[in-house]
Structure 1
Amino acid sequence: MFLNRLTLAEKKAFLKVAHHVAHIDNEFSKEEGVIIDKYCMEMQIDDVEYDPNEFDLTSELCIFQEDGHKKIALLELMVLVFSDGHLHHAEETIVNEIVKQFGLNPNLAIVYKEWAKSILSLFVQGEALIHL
């Protein structure tokens, strides 16, 4: 929803982080793949190469300089972690690490989690309306 506001470098970093988050629980779900595809369409860029052995979270997160852009990344990552209907412990841990490295208020993550759940619910309702 807001990813088009990021710089090109931030978009690429976001996709790498998104892949990392999606794979963190060792289960890359169909829903997570759909969300990442939607991220690419929204940002109008091709997907990035993700190699878990070469990925460095701190390096990717350092690309985000503006607080507003950090918040956009966090909001969108919340949609990803809830896309398969489960918040795995590993996903919660990585989200907390991202919040910490971004220097954001941990309470903000709670509000963003609820927003993500609401957005996903509305998306499911919208899909159902299309098929009425």
Structure 2
Amino acid sequence: MFLNRLSMAEKEAFLALAHHIAHADNDFSVDEEVLIAKYCMEMQMDDIEYDEANFNLFSILDTFEQDSHQKIVLLELMALVYADGVIAKEEQHTIDAIIEHFELNPNLAIIYREWSKNILSLFTQGEALIHI
């Protein structure tokens, strides 16, 4: 929804984060795959090759220097972790690490989580309306 505001380097870093969090629980669901494909369409770029062996969370997070861009990352990742209806403990640990690294207020995560759930619900309703 807000990913078009990121620079090209940030978009690539975001996709690495998205893949990392989607694979964190060793269950890359269809819902997560679909949402990452939507992220790619929104950013008008091809998906990246995710290399778990060379992934470094904190160096990726350092790509996002602007406060507003850090919040975009958190907001969009919240939608991803709830895309399959459940947040695994591994996904929650990654979200917690992101919040800490960005020095964001943990209460912000609560607000972002609820907003993301609502947005996902609206998308589901919209899809249903199309197919009625």
Whether TM exceeds 0.5 here: the answer is yes
Q: Which residue of 2 aligns with 1:25?
A: 25
Q: Distance in 1 between matches of 2:9 and 2:79?
A: 21
1:55 deviates by 0.2
**How many Å separate the matches in 2 of 1:101 and 1:40?**
25
Partner of 1:41: 41
CA distance in 2, matches of 1:76, 1:102: 15
SS for the counterpart of 1:53 is: helix
Name the TM-score, length of structure 1 as normaliser. 0.99
Cα displacement (A) at 1:123? 0.5
Residue 84 (str. 1) matches residue 84 (str. 2) = yes
Give the distance between the partners of 1:52 and 1:92, measured in 2 at CA: 18
Gaps of 5+ in 1: none
Residue 49 of structure 1 and its aligned partner are, at CA, apart by 1.2
The within-5 A match list for 1:77-116 is 77-116=77-116
Report what 1:6 is aligned to: 6
Give RMSD over aligned pairs: 0.5
Structure 1 consecutive aligned stretches of length 4 or more whose deviation exceeds 6 Å: none
Secondary structure (helix, strand or coil) at the match of 1:99 reads helix
Q: What residue is the counterpart of 1:15 in the other structure?
A: 15
Q: 1:103: Cα distance to partner?
A: 1.1
Q: What TM-score results when the alignment is normalised by the length of structure 2? A: 0.99
Q: What are the superposed Cα offsets for residues 69-98 of structure 1, whole Å, 9 maximum, x if unpaired? A: 000010000000000011111111110101
Question: Number of matched residues?
Answer: 132
Unaligned runs of 5+ in 2: none
Q: 2:125 — aligned with what?
A: 125
